[in-house]
């Protein structure tokens, strides 16, 4: 009964989304304000229905209702409660429902937050969001209904994919999707502006907090996924350029370009058509990512439930949403004129380069991700694109971007002078280079050129970000939330760059075949394989190794890597032993049983690796702080939203 | 030309590539088995219904047969069961069941309750034989020729469509 209720609620949500889309788009277009007024109730109703639907699916999982096919396929009577909840988004059908639910949350938030906006504009934004929701609800109901019954019911379930039975992965999809779906809001604002045929600085100010918030979630979501891959897949890497990872990374890169471009549109009324295009692209790439993962077009270690019928539906949906938006763009964008100009060296020019370089970076990732598919389409031999392509092509635009970031945040708007900041910049650059050279050649004696370059750029960004806050603090001035957020995010970027440089340059790694009592040396560390004991979990059994680590003869830690066999799916999972000290990791994973008591054991020392994720989280935190600036929530009257791009001297 | 049309053009190109990709993706979803065209792996397994009877792969030589991997724990196997009864009714080839990692009493109860589509059910409790055959999930259905060569493998539940398209032409030359 309960699953049918969830199914029914989903159908009602579809109808309400249809109403929301129709009234929201047609109402303002035909100047029928009473139609537009019906949009907000439709949003609220749709949200309640989706929430009901989610709750019904959760109920089916919690109560072990194996008569529901999705529950039977993704849980088991031995699965702990926490993972039964996480199993809701453990496979295709439920993760779509999660997508829809999060879109519902964003839409509700926009409906509440847009009460100060001009009513027709707000109706259009919600109308576009309704259209997207309608498409996803229809997709779920037609091809991926999680509420279908199994006749007769299964005696027990097939269990959740053991890879997903992990705390980080339980929260990774909701966080990542919140970011993905959040770009729908920026897209909807862009759509509304194009439908209205008007885009001004006020528009950018309304769009900024939503975009920044979505970007912050996406940053956190990607970092969580990378962290999970690091300790759960047992290979010790943090990024694999897998199509599914790229699918989340491309919207992030374009989203990063978008938040910078929005700053220019907000402050100076420039880059209008470019900002629009980025807003369309960021969400299009999110949709494309969904398509690539779900349709089975690209083969990836992450892809589940590939189904061509779903592929056809998503493709049609992509054509309607993205094709429609781009057609509207081709029609409306030529009407947008920017009057003001700027000098080379002004902040606008730095942000222009930022945008160009980020879009190039996104394009290289896009090319590498799509190349196997294009080769396949043309009938060429199977092509596999990996780190040897991605690493250099991605670094090429990134290195200048990092240098520009350190300088650009001190450039003034409009005029190309760094004025009094020049001395601070030079001083921080000198310190950064000195530190980088000392670490790269003094402490580690590396031979790679990129090591000191990466370290210097990372440290420079951190130090340079601190100039302004320190200066303000000395003069007893306060920082606005948006400047503080920017500073935090840039510091996060610097930390991230330092960490990656360190891991890529100074990592020690060794695979050794060890019997009990034997040890392997790795730099100053010695890993001794002491013992192996059987273990028993709620839905798995396996072995746990005991590996004692010494540094220069002094004991450091005893590590316990595990190898688990999950019963129902009969799959083997590696739980690496990780010991963190000052953000650097000792990493040990159990490989294969080589017979005669010998095991292959992978040992790694990865200096500063945790700062990769810490850096990414700091970036996300910066975004959250910036999005909370009161300036974006200041009351905006229609009169204030003038078309003028007259250069008011801005604060930021 | 309007430069603002460029993004739309780029997207149109991409959509064409994706459309071709979607059209071709079903071909990719059949995982090719290295066994195709090779002799079927040898086995000697006890019969589920008669524990004293040992069936060897060599006993099955001389006419084509189907080998279906199943277990009572497998949801998809339940879904394909009705189709297997139809396969049995067609009398095109003997259907051998490989009861994979299952409990004998549960398997017998399943067959008693739902009907037995198999000519013989072999017990592969520790999954040895399934490993030899490269099985990575149930259900899977193999077609072995009279000469003992694996000629086709279907992964997932057998459907009427797959049966008509892939199996019947291979069984009725």
Provide mean pLDDT across the span A9-22: 97
Provide mean pLDDT across the span A435-448: 81
Between helix A39-62 and helix A119-143 the angle, nearest 10°, is 30
Summarize pLDDT for A453-474 with one digit per residue, the tens: 999 999 999 999 999 899 889 9
**Would the pLDDT of A122 be above 70?**
yes
* Interchain proximity B127–A570, CB inside 8 Å: yes
Higher pLDDT, B147 or A178: A178
* Interchain proximity A299–B11, CB inside 8 Å: no
pLDDT at A620: 96
Do B56 and B25 lie in a common domain? Answer: no
Secondary structure letter of residue A51 according to DSSP: H
Q: HSE of B76 in the Cβ direction (CA atoms, 13 Å)? A: 16
* Domain enclosing residue B17, as ranges: 1-30
Closest by Cβ to A273, choosing from B4, B11, B18? B4
Provide mean pLDDT across the span B112-118: 91
Q: Are B70 and B99 in contact (CB under 8 A)?
A: yes
Residue of B nearest to A67 (CA): B75
For the ranges A56-65, A145-154, A325-334, A415-424, the lowest mean pLDDT is seen at A415-424
Q: Are A549 and A586 in contact (CB under 8 A)?
A: yes
**Would the pLDDT of A289 be above 90?**
no
Q: Which residues of A81-98 are buried (b: 16+ CB within 10 A; e: fewer)?
A: eebbebbbbbbbbbbbbb
Provide mean pLDDT across the span A407-428: 83
pLDDT at A205: 93
Summarize pLDDT for A630-652 with one digit per residue, the tens: 888 765 544 343 333 333 333 33
Closest by Cβ to A73, choosing from B5, B19, B75? B75
B136 Cα to chain A: minimum distance (Å): 10
pTM of the model: 0.82
Q: What is the 3-state secondary structure (H, E, C) of B68-88?
A: EEECCCCHHHHHHHHHHHHHH
For residue B166, what is the domain's CATH number? 3.40.30.10
A111 Cα to chain B: minimum distance (Å): 30
Cis status of the peptide bond prior to A477, with omega within 30 of 0: no
Closest by Cβ to A315, choosing from B15, B72, B127? B15
CA distances from A212 to A140, A355, A540 (A): 29, 16, 42
* Interchain proximity B29–A284, CB inside 8 Å: no
- Give me the interface pTM, i.e. the ipTM: 0.84
CA distances from A325 to A210, A247, A285, B4 (A): 19, 20, 13, 12
For residues A227 and A232, what is the distance between their CA atoms, to the nearest angstrom?
Answer: 8
Closest by Cβ to A318, choosing from B15, B26, B75? B15
Sequence-separated (6 or more) residues with CB below 8 Å from residue A224: A168, A171, A172, A175, A176, A613
* Interchain proximity B78–A69, CB inside 8 Å: no
DSSP, collapsed to helix, strand or coil, labels residue A601 as strand
B35 Cα to chain A: minimum distance (Å): 21
Closest by Cβ to A308, choosing from B14, B25, B74? B25
Q: What is the 3-state secondary structure (H, E, C) of A135-197?
A: HHHHHHHHHCCCCCECCCCCCCCCCCCHHHCCHHHHHHHHHHHHHHHHHHHHHHHHHHHHHHC
pLDDT at A193: 95
Closest by Cβ to B8, choosing from A306, A330, A374? A330
Sequence-separated (6 or more) residues with CB below 8 Å from residue B26: A308
What the block records as the tokens of A484 is 């503080």
Region label for A48, one of left (φ > 0), alpha (ψ between -120 and 50) or beta (otherwise): alpha
For residues A491 and B43, what is the distance between their CA atoms, to the nearest angstrom?
Answer: 64
For residues A575 and A224, what is the distance between their CA atoms, to the nearest angstrom?
Answer: 17
What the block records as the tokens of B95 is 């259907």
For residues A189 and B73, what is the distance between their CA atoms, to the nearest angstrom?
Answer: 50
Provide mean pLDDT across the span A352-363: 96
pLDDT at A635: 53
Do B103 and B19 lie in a common domain? Answer: no
Q: Are B45 and B124 in contact (CB under 8 A)?
A: yes
pLDDT at A298: 57
Best B25, B110, B131, B137 member to test A by mutation, with max A CBs in 10 Å, is B25
Residue A553 pLDDT level (bands cut at 50, 70, 90): confident
Provide mean pLDDT across the span A200-214: 94
pLDDT at A634: 65
DSSP, collapsed to helix, strand or coil, labels residue A302 as coil
Do B162 and B103 lie in a common domain? Answer: yes
Classify residue B143 as exposed, middle or buried by CB count within 10 Å of its CB (0-12, 13-18, 19+): buried
**What's the Rg (C-alpha) of chain B?**
21
Do B15 and B81 lie in a common domain? Answer: no
Contact list in B for residue A373 (CB cut-off 8 A) is: 17-18, 21
* Interchain proximity B20–A377, CB inside 8 Å: yes
Do B17 and B83 lie in a common domain? Answer: no
pLDDT at A442: 78
pLDDT at A313: 85
For the ranges A244-253, A308-317, A387-396, A552-561, the lowest mean pLDDT is seen at A308-317
Residue A261 pLDDT level (bands cut at 50, 70, 90): very high
pLDDT at A314: 82
For residues B90 and A403, what is the distance between their CA atoms, to the nearest angstrom?
Answer: 73
Going by C-alpha positions, the residue among B45, B15, B60 that lies closest to residue A322 is B15
Best A73, A278, A297, A319 member to test B by mutation, with max B CBs in 10 Å, is A297
pLDDT at A523: 85
Contact list in B for residue A329 (CB cut-off 8 A) is: 4, 7-8
Higher pLDDT, B104 or A233: B104
**Would the pLDDT of A17 be above 90?**
yes
Summarize pLDDT for A80-97 with one digit per residue, the tens: 999 999 999 888 889 899
Contact list in A for residue B75 (CB cut-off 8 A) is: 69, 72-73, 150, 154, 158
In a domain, residue B37? The reply is no
DSSP, collapsed to helix, strand or coil, labels residue A346 as coil
Backbone angles phi and psi of A581, in degrees to 5: -140, 120
Q: Are A38 and A23 in contact (CB under 8 A)?
A: yes
Provide the mean pLDDT of chain A: 87
Q: Is the dihedral angle over the CA atoms A109, A111, A112, A115 positive or is it negative?
A: positive
Summarize pLDDT for A69-83 with one digit per residue, the tens: 899 888 888 889 999
What the block records as the tokens of A302 is 């992450």
Return the ∠ at Cα A554 (arms to A550 and A557), rounded to 5°.
Answer: 50
Q: What is the 3-state secondary structure (H, E, C) of B99-149?
A: EECCCHHHHHHHHHHHCCCCCEEEEECCCHHHHHCCCCCCCEEEEECCCCE
Q: Are A141 and A14 in contact (CB under 8 A)?
A: yes
Residue showing tokens 């071909």? B27
In a domain, residue B23? The reply is yes
Higher pLDDT, B88 or B75: B88
Domain ranges of chain A: 1-165, 174-335+343-415, 420-507, 508-606
pLDDT at A638: 40
Q: Say how many domains are in chain B.
A: 2
Going by C-alpha positions, the residue among A133, A129, A165 that lies closest to residue A53 is A133
Do B67 and B90 lie in a common domain? Answer: yes
Residue A295 pLDDT level (bands cut at 50, 70, 90): low
Residue A308 pLDDT level (bands cut at 50, 70, 90): low
Do B21 and B57 lie in a common domain? Answer: no
Provide mean pLDDT across the span A321-325: 95
Do B137 and B165 lie in a common domain? Answer: yes
Going by C-alpha positions, the residue among A80, A45, A46 that lies closest to residue A61 is A80
For the ranges A257-261, A394-398, B127-131, B148-152, the lowest mean pLDDT is seen at B127-131
Summarize pLDDT for A101-119 with one digit per residue, the tens: 999 999 999 999 988 899 9
Residue B29 pLDDT level (bands cut at 50, 70, 90): very low
Residue of B nearest to A273 (CA): B4
Provide mean pLDDT across the span A494-507: 92
Do B55 and B122 lie in a common domain? Answer: yes
What is the percentage of chain A residues whose pLDDT exceeds 70? 93
Contact list in A for residue B23 (CB cut-off 8 A) is: 308
Query: Interface of chain B against chain A, CB under 8 Å?
Result: 2, 4-5, 7-8, 11-12, 14-15, 17-26, 28-29, 72-75, 78, 101, 127
Residue showing tokens 């998503």? A314
Residue showing tokens 């009473």? A34
């Amino acid at each position: 009964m309960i699953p049918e209720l969830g199914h029914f609620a989903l159908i009602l949500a579809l109808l309400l989304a249809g109403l929301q889309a129709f009234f929201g788009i047609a109402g303002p277009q035909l100047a029928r304000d009473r139609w537009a007024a019906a949009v907000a109730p439709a949003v609220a109703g749709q949200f309640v229905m989706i929430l009901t639907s989610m709750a019904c699916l959760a109920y089916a999982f919690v109560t072990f209702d194996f008569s529901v096919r999705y529950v039977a396929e993704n849980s088991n009577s031995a699965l702990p409660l926490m993972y039964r909840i996480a199993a809701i988004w453990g496979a295709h059908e439920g993760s779509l429902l999660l997508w829809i639910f999060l879109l519902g949350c964003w839409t509700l938030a926009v409906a509440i937050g847009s009460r100060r906006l001009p009513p027709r504009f707000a109706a259009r934004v919600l109308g576009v969001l309704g259209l997207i929701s309608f498409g996803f609800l229809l997709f779920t109901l037609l091809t991926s209904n999680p509420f279908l019954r199994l006749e007769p019911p299964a005696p027990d379930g097939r269990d959740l994919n053991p890879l997903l039975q992990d705390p980080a992965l339980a929260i990774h999809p909701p966080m990542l999707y919140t970011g993905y779906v959040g770009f729908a809001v920026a897209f909807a604002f862009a759509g509304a502006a194009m439908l209205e045929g008007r885009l001004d600085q006020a528009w950018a100010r309304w769009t900024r907090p939503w975009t920044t918030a979505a970007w912050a979630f996406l940053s956190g979501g990607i970092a969580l996924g990378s962290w999970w891959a690091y300790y759960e897949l047992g290979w010790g890497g943090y990024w694999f350029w897998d199509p599914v990872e790229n699918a989340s990374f491309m919207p992030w890169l374009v989203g990063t370009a978008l938040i910078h471009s929005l700053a220019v549109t907000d402050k100076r009324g420039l880059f209008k058509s470019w900002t629009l295009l980025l807003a369309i692209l960021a969400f299009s790439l999110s949709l494309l990512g969904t398509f690539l993962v779900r349709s089975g077009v690209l083969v990836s270690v992450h892809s589940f439930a590939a189904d061509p019928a779903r592929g056809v539906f998503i493709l049609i949906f992509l054509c309607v949403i993205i094709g429609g938006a781009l057609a509207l763009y081709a029609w409306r964008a030529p009407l947008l004129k920017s009057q003001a100009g700027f000098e080379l060296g002004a902040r606008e020019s730095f942000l222009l380069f930022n945008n160009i370089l980020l879009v190039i970076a996104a394009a290289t990732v896009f090319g590498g991700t799509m190349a196997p598919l294009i080769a396949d389409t043309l009938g060429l031999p199977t092509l596999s694109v990996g780190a040897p392509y991605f690493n250099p092509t991605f670094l090429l635009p990134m290195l200048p971007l990092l240098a520009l970031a350190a300088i650009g945040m001190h450039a003034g708007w409009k005029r190309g002078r760094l004025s009094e900041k020049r001395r601070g910049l030079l001083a921080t650059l000198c310190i950064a280079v000195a530190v980088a050279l000392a670490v790269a050649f003094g402490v580690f004696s590396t031979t790679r050129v990129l090591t000191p370059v990466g370290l210097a750029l990372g440290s420079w960004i951190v130090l340079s970000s601190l100039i302004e806050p320190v200066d303000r603090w000395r003069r007893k001035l306060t920082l606005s939330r948006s400047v503080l957020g920017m500073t935090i995010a840039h510091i996060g970027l610097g930390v991230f760059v330092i960490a990656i440089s360190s891991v890529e340059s100074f990592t020690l790694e060794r695979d050794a075949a060890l019997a009990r009592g034997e040890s392997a040396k790795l730099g100053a560390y010695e890993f001794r394989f002491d013992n192996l004991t059987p273990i028993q979990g709620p839905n798995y059994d396996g072995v746990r190794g005991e590996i004692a680590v010494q540094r220069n003869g002094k004991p450091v830690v005893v590590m316990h890597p595990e190898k688990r066999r999950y019963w129902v799916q009969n799959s083997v999972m590696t739980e690496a032993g990780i010991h963190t000290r000052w953000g650097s990791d000792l990493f040990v994973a159990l490989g294969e049983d080589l017979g005669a008591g010998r095991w292959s054991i992978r040992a790694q020392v990865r200096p500063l690796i945790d700062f990769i994720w810490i850096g990414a989280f700091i970036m996300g935190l910066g975004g959250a702080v910036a999005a909370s600036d009161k300036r974006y929530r200041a009351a905006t009257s229609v009169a204030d939203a003038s078309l003028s791009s007259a250069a008011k001297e801005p604060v930021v | 030309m309007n430069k603002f049309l460029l993004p739309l053009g780029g997207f149109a190109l991409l959509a064409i590539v994706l459309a071709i990709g979607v059209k071709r993706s079903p071909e990719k979803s059949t995982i090719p088995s290295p066994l195709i065209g090779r002799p079927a792996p040898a086995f000697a397994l006890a019969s589920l219904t008669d524990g004293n009877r040992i069936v060897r792969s060599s006993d099955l030589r001389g006419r084509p047969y189907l080998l279906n991997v199943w277990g009572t724990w497998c949801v998809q196997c339940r879904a394909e069961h009705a189709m297997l009864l139809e396969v049995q009714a067609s009398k095109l080839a003997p259907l051998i069941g490989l009861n994979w990692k299952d409990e004998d009493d549960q398997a017998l109860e399943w067959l008693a309750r739902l009907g037995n589509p198999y000519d013989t059910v072999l017990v592969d409790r520790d999954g040895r034989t399934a490993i030899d055959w490269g099985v990575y999930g149930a259900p899977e259905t193999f077609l072995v020729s009279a000469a003992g060569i694996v000629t086709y493998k279907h992964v997932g539940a057998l459907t009427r469509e797959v049966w008509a398209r892939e199996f019947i032409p291979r069984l009725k030359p």
